Amino acid sequence: MAPRSPIESIAIVLYEGFDELDAIGPYEVFENAAEAGADLDVGLCTLEPTNRVTASHGLVVEPAGALDDLADDPDLVVVPGGGWTDGAKHGARAEVERGALPDAIAERHRNGASVASVCTGGMILAAAGVLDGRPATTHHGAIDDLRETAANVVDARVVDDGDVLTAGGVTSGLDLALWLVERDFGADTAETVAREMEYERRDEVYRAN
């Protein structure tokens, strides 16, 4: 695998029915990392332009803009989960069925962006084909569904396969984000962020390489 450059710009893609903590947890980690000195920028965006997007528990968010309208192409695209296992009208399953978000993720990855998922956002990555033949995880309620794809399911809280990362359910998004901070900006910065957030990290990162 070719050497990676540290991530500098991160886009967290929201959609109707996304799980709040899947997106906001990593967002806060990355923002705190930037305040602690990490050279990165993070923003909440949507696939298509919209003024507001409503999460699975009713939180209404005003995104910074649409993914294709960002001034710079993000180095990392993070996809939250939500709404896969409960048959909700909106959420990850609806986005997979609609197809536009998986297609956009696949295109971004082909063009060199790293991609990451939290919870059942992994099912969106699977639909995009970026998990084919690669180690991955997702929320325990969707593990059997992930096994039916071409991904190699791993029993881990966070799975790092270089330019593709996945995390298990909900709170694991904090561990994913903190791991990315540690991987690209050092353990001291990650520890500073974890301490600021009073979060006890779980050392369950599976590294493929």
Enumerate the β-bridge partners of residue 158: 167, 205
| Closest of 139, 136, 8, 164 to residue 86, by C-alpha | 139
pLDDT of residue 208: 85
Domain residue ranges in the chain: 9-201
At 167-203, the pLDDT tens digits run 998 899 999 999 999 999 999 999 999 999 999 998 6
pTM: 0.96
Tens-binned pLDDT, residue by residue, of the chain (209 aa): 445 678 999 999 999 999 999 999 999 999 999 999 999 999 999 999 999 999 999 999 999 999 988 767 899 999 999 999 887 899 999 999 999 999 999 999 999 999 999 999 999 999 999 999 999 999 999 999 999 999 999 999 999 999 999 999 889 999 999 999 999 999 999 999 999 999 999 867 999 87
pLDDT at 2: 47
pLDDT (0 to 100) of residue 71: 62
In angstroms, the CA 47 to CA 173 distance is 20
- Own/partner pairs, 196-199, CB within 8 angstroms, 24+ separation: 196/32, 196/36, 197/28, 197/29, 197/32, 199/174
Q: Which two tokens stand for residue 84?
A: 């896969």
Give the span between the Cα atoms of 100 and 128, in whole angstroms: 10
In the chain the beta strands, taken as DSSP E runs, fall at 9-14, 41-46, 53-54, 60-61, 65-66, 76-79, 114-118, 135-136, 152-153, 158-160, 164-167, 205-207
CATH number of the domain located at residue range(s) 9-201 in this protein? 3.40.50.880
- C-alpha distances (whole Å) from 15 to each of 43, 54, 62 are 14, 8, 11
Q: What is the pLDDT of residue 66?
A: 95
Query: Which sign does the torsion angle of CA 27, 60, 102, 75 carry?
Result: negative
Look at residue 132 and give its three-state secondary structure. Answer: coil
Q: Which residue, among 18, 22, 20, 62, has the nearest Cα to 43 in the 3D structure?
A: 62
Q: Residue 12 belongs to what H/E stretch?
A: strand 9-14
In DSSP terms, 45 is beta-bridged to 13, 65
Please report which residue ranges of 36-99 form alpha helices under DSSP H.
92-98
